[in-house]
Amino acid sequence: MKYPVIISGGGIIGCYIHLRLKQEGIPSLIIEKGLAARESEINIRTISLNPSTYKLLLDLGIQLETASVNTIKVSDRDGSGKIEFVASEVGEEALSHVAMFNDLLDKMQDLAKPAIQFESEITSISKLEELTKITLNNNSELKTSLLIGSDGRKSPVAQLSNFISKDNDYKQTAFTFLASEESASNIFVASQIFSDKGIFALMPIKHENKNMFSVVWSVPNILIKDINIDDFVSKNIDTVTSNISSKITLESEIISFPLSNHHLDSYMKEGVVVVGDAAHSIHPLAGQGINLGFADADILCEEIIAAFKKGYSIGSYRVLKKYEIRRKSINEIMLKAMDGFIGLFGSTNIYIKVLRNLGLNLFNKISFMKVFFINHASGSHKL
């Protein structure tokens, strides 16, 4: 069988690309290793969508139950440093919109369902003259003008194409869970607290019509070497959140993820391209993972659609290289910036602690720097 586009990975980014190309009359098939999101019983993870991502979803007609964040407060629990980002500083109504991860994935998969082949995966990729040939785990063979890898970290498409990955293990684990806040007065405020017990992020979320909070707590592995996760959370949550005026209470089980980042040295070769977490992953502190993926997908679709309309080959080196040029350096800057932040806040050196508190307070007073930072995080910069 021959398809113009085959997408490996039916996650949020893979489904987005399928739906966006479909709007322009470019059909694609999605190969997804797992079952549909609806089959999953756990719905704890949340995702914060920046204004650019939110608009891309609205443009596809996707509406979600979200909480809007209009203020982000960043503070150092062991010092006086703090920064506050407010949406009105950049003329936006919200800095981000927080949704349940599975609700978004379920909506995307539902819309893309006729094109998704669940429980299948690619086992080999080979280049024919004009086309790329793939073999699936059921031994069937398919041919395509363009193979897109949106199959997450450790992407099989990236590995089978021999793209080289630079990996960095943070030696941290992220705990994520749903929580309630006693006063419930901060439903538009996200907080990030840096402390010697890790980085604690609290985001408002609207779930089944209730105002709740989602926690992503990144903890150095050394602190949880001899203690189980539930005990660590119950022992430290009050101390870590003492900057927040009211008590935070756990409302779900805790799920945990090891934290690392990676970046591929190349995103493409003739007939094959990778996007989203298949190409790069970032510390969740930034809340930028899915947003970088959407920005990749948006630019890739722009280049494919432009080539298609001009009658060019959509899998050609020229078309895919343009996408890589427009996205790789921007992603690299974001990854490096996050590493710098984590290094700065991970340090227990007293001089660095003093400097970072001074730095945070200074940064908070310089409005043009804050506007620059918010604009980058909101995804409004496009090459």
Ligand X SMILES: Cc1cc2nc3c(=O)[nH]c(=O)nc-3n(C[C@H](O)[C@H](O)[C@H](O)COP(=O)(O)OP(=O)(O)OC[C@H]3O[C@@H](n4cnc5c(N)ncnc54)[C@H](O)[C@@H]3O)c2cc1C
Compare residues 150 and 191 and give the one whose CB is closer to ligand X: 150
Tokens of 304: 């494919």
Nearer to ligand X, 118 or 312 (CB): 118
Residues 271 and 315 sit within 8 Å (Cβ to Cβ): yes
Q: Going by C-beta distance under 8 Å and a sequence separation of 6 or more, which residues neighbour residue 230?
A: 254
Q: Based on CB atoms, which residue is closest to ligand X, 131 or 334?
A: 334
Taking the least distance from each CB to ligand X, the nearer of 13 and 26 is 13
Nearest CB to ligand X, comparing residues 80 and 137: 137
Residues at the contact surface with ligand X, assessed by CB under 6 A:
8-14, 31-34, 47-48, 121-122, 150-152, 156, 174, 176, 216, 257, 276-278, 284, 287-291, 293
CB of 213 to ligand X, least distance (A): 13
Does residue 144 contact residue 314 with C-beta atoms inside 8 Å?
no
CB of 365 to ligand X, least distance (A): 28
Distance of closest approach, residue 311 Cβ to ligand X, in angstroms = 30
Distance of closest approach, residue 244 Cβ to ligand X, in angstroms: 19
| Dist. CA 247–CA 39, nearest whole Å | 34
Which long-range contacts (C-beta less than 8 Å, at least 24 apart) are formed by 330-333?
330/295, 330/381, 330/383, 331/263, 331/279, 331/280, 331/292, 331/296, 332/263
Write the CA distances from 40 to 35, 258, 289, 297, 332, integer angstroms: 8, 21, 21, 25, 33
Pick the closer one to ligand X by CB: 99 or 360: 99
The number of angstroms, rounded, from the C-alpha of 221 to the middle of its chain's C-alpha atoms is: 22
Q: Which is nearer to ligand X, 150 or 241 (CB)?
A: 150
**Measured from the CB of residue 366, what is the shortest distance to ligand X in angstroms?**
26
232 and 223 Cβ atoms separated by less than 8 Å: yes
The span from the CA of 293 to the CA of 276, in Å, is 4
User: Which of 100, 94, 96 is CA-nearest to residue 213?
Assistant: 100
Pick between residue 274 and residue 356 the one whose CB is nearest to ligand X: 274
Least Å from the CB of residue 53 to ligand X: 8
Rounded to a whole number of angstroms, the minimum distance from the CB of residue 235 to ligand X is 21
CB 379 within 8 A of CB 50: yes
Q: Which of 45, 99, 103, 108 is nearest to 69 (CA)?
A: 99
Three-class SS state of 227: coil
3-state DSSP of 295-319: HHHHHHHHHHHHHHHHCCCCCCHHH
Q: What does the alpha-carbon distance between residue 268 and residue 317 come to, in Å, rounded to a whole number?
A: 8
The minimum distance between CB 137 and ligand X, in angstroms, equals: 9
CB of residue 261 vs ligand X: minimum separation in angstroms? Answer: 11
Nearer to ligand X, 72 or 81 (CB): 72
